[in-house]
Structure 1
Amino acid sequence: MNYRITHRTTYHYSSPVAVSHHAARLRPRDTDTQRCLEFSLSFDPEPDLLTEHTDSFGNQVSCFSVQKLHTHFEVISRSFVSLMPVLQPDPLQTPPWEAVAAMFRDPVPVDLLDPCQFAFGSPLLVPEMPLRDFALPSFTKGRPILAATADLCRRIHREFAFDPKATTISTPLNEVLEKKRGVCQDFAHLAIASLRAMGLPARYISGYLRTHPPAGKPRLQGVDASHAWASSFVPGFGWVDFDPTNNCFTSLDHITVATGRDFSDVSPVRGIITGGGRHTVGVGVDVEPVGS
């Protein structure tokens, strides 16, 4: 499956901005089942400085600076991505979750040092006891890790309501757990922190989700979503991505952009400005299938 993706982020300021600095993680990653064949960025106004580097998680980061007065700023990324089917292990044939957790206690084998970094707390996530209590019904004694993870995914989908007005980017996870409402970022964070509370590695994935119009209706432009999901490490197989918002393992509808410990590592566009007064941010995503 191939996709053309357009991601538009627009800032409007109530007073002029003298200088703005931004960092963007917008280029879809290359993985075993995904290839980014084309990628470009365009800007309005054009930045005075543009650099690129790869961060410690393997994400491409574009850094740009506008050093002239401006009252709006827009960055548009355009990508052409090819996806192959994702092969998933049989959840019932994966190791018991306790055996996996034991692998990430000192001393950790050298070949597990990379996933080990995702077994601990991170800037936005602390694996506290309430999260362990929430996870425990899924992680019964001897249960295969991927079967337990799938059950956790189902419970989040069943017990939590999708509500864009219930949370913001800064809403703490304990409030999400209490209100049982939130959005994809919250549900991904909840799944990740719950796994870590059980001593298991889990990482955050940002990307895009292709949406499907109702039967007989045309696909509308700009209604696809910037999305977030989670990933669980399965020894002998690797990382397995799952989407608690939609209660599924990832498929050809999920396009991976960036990977990190939590949202703070993978924010699509973030920045700092001098001046600007009040500001508004608009984001639009279009995921267009173009055949296989």
Structure 2
Amino acid sequence: MRIAIQHNSRYHYKTPPAFALQKARLTPLSDFRQNVEQWQLIVTGAEQQLTSRDAFGNTCTLIRADPDVEILEVSAQGMIDTEETQGIMEQAAGVMPLFVYRQPTALTAKSEDLAALAESVRQDDPIDMLHRLMDAIAEKVLYEPGVTHVGTTADEALQEGRGVCQDLTHIFLVAARHLGVATRYTSGYFVSGNDLGGDASHGWAEAFVPNVGWIGFDPTNRRCPDERYVRIASGRDYTDVSPVSGVRVGAGSERLTVSLAVEQQ
């Protein structure tokens, strides 16, 4: 599938910051299931300082705001060709040791309820077990924007019973890791149609199954990612893959507006 993507993030500062440095994880890589035909990162009101790979292999670009800037805009756009791979997102284990993806983080700490959820689907066949886990999460947690925030933990989302793709994915990570499966958070985009979570950058889980590779599981839409999905970054949780993060000094309030278009060509 040929997919065109246009993702704009605009920061409005009430008072220009004395200093602002942003890290953008908005650049996809070509692999066996997707080919980056064309991609560019355009910034207005700032200067790109450095582009490099982080410890997880993600492409990161450091952006420093211009002096006295009131509006800073980051635009990622391009064309990606994807293939259907039956949910297999990557065949090799990757650059990071697998044990890293079995460890808890601040957002994916285990609780009794999360462990009980995991145990309710435990069985010998790992792929069937992970499908059952995805279904169980989709049944327990309703997709509803505006209830949670970027700092909501997996357990808090499970107790709330509502959340967005980040929350459902974090719950999947905790439960799968409890079951001994190396699991990572992946960010990207997908051609959504009437599906959930397509109005912003999307998140899903990827679990490593020996002799198969990393298999994607999207509990928000209760399916494995197909050719409609474009991978951008992966890590231990959302913190490792957030599209834009950073620090600022001396600014007043900040307002962020985001627009996204993901279309099949």
- The TM-score normalised by the length of structure 2 is 0.92
**Is the contact made by 1:210 and 1:225 (CA closer than 8 Å) also made in structure 2?**
no
SS at match of 2:28: coil
**Is the contact made by 1:4 and 1:78 (CA closer than 8 Å) also made in structure 2?**
yes
TM alignment of 1:127-142, pairs within 5 A: 127-140=110-123, 142=124
Match of residue 97 from structure 1: none
Match of residue 166 from structure 1: 147
2:151 maps to amino acid: S
SS at match of 1:6: strand
Deviation at 1:67, TM superposition (A): 3.9
User: Of the two, which has the highest radius of gyration?
Assistant: 1
Match of residue 92 from structure 1: none
Q: Deviations over 1:102-141 (max 9, x none)?
A: xxxxxxxx9997222211113422234432111111113x
Q: Deviations over 1:197-243 (max 9, x none)?
A: 122210000001212269xxxxxxxx743100001111111110010
Q: Deviations over 1:134-179 (max 9, x none)?
A: 1111113x3x111011011011112211111210001122211111
Q: 1:213 to 1:232 in 2, by over 3 A?
A: closer
- Within the candidate set 108, 111, 133, 1:125 is matched to 108
SS at match of 1:199: coil
SS at match of 1:132: helix
5+ residue gaps, structure 1, are: 90-109, 215-222
Match of residue 105 from structure 1: none
2:159 maps to amino acid: E
SS at match of 2:102: coil
SS at match of 1:139: coil
SS at match of 1:229: strand
Return the alpha-carbon distance in structure 2 between the equivalents of residues 114 and 173 of structure 1: 23
TM alignment of 1:1-292, pairs within 5 A: 1-47=1-47, 49-88=48-87, 114-140=97-123, 142=124, 144-212=125-193, 224-290=199-265
Deviation at 1:50, TM superposition (A): 1.7
4+ aligned runs moved over 4 Å, structure 1: 110-113
**Is the contact made by 2:111 and 2:155 (CA closer than 8 Å) also made in structure 1?**
no
Identity among equivalent positions (%) equals: 29
**Is the contact made by 1:121 and 1:127 (CA closer than 8 Å) also made in structure 2?**
yes
Return the alpha-carbon distance in structure 2 between the equivalents of residues 199 and 228 of structure 1: 21
SS at match of 1:190: helix
Q: Structure 1 residues 169-178 or 246-255, which shifts more?
A: 169-178
Return the alpha-carbon distance in structure 2 between the equivalents of residues 26 and 7 of structure 1: 9
Return the alpha-carbon distance in structure 1 between the equivalents of residues 182 and 111 of structure 2: 15
2:52 maps to amino acid: H
SS at match of 1:17: coil
Q: 1:88 to 1:207 in 2, by over 3 A?
A: closer
**Is the contact made by 1:71 and 1:276 (CA closer than 8 Å) also made in structure 2?**
no
SS at match of 1:117: helix
Deviation at 1:254, TM superposition (A): 1.2
Return the alpha-carbon distance in structure 1 between the equivalents of residues 66 and 95 of structure 2: 44
Return the alpha-carbon distance in structure 1 between the equivalents of residues 94 and 45 of structure 2: 46
1:157 maps to amino acid: A
SS at match of 2:31: coil
> What's the RMSD between the two structures over aligned residues?
2.1
Deviation at 1:76, TM superposition (A): 0.3
Return the alpha-carbon distance in structure 2 between the equivalents of residues 112 and 285 of structure 1: 30
Deviation at 1:46, TM superposition (A): 3.6
2:72 maps to amino acid: F
SS at match of 2:214: strand
Return the alpha-carbon distance in structure 2 between the equivalents of residues 276 and 152 of structure 1: 44
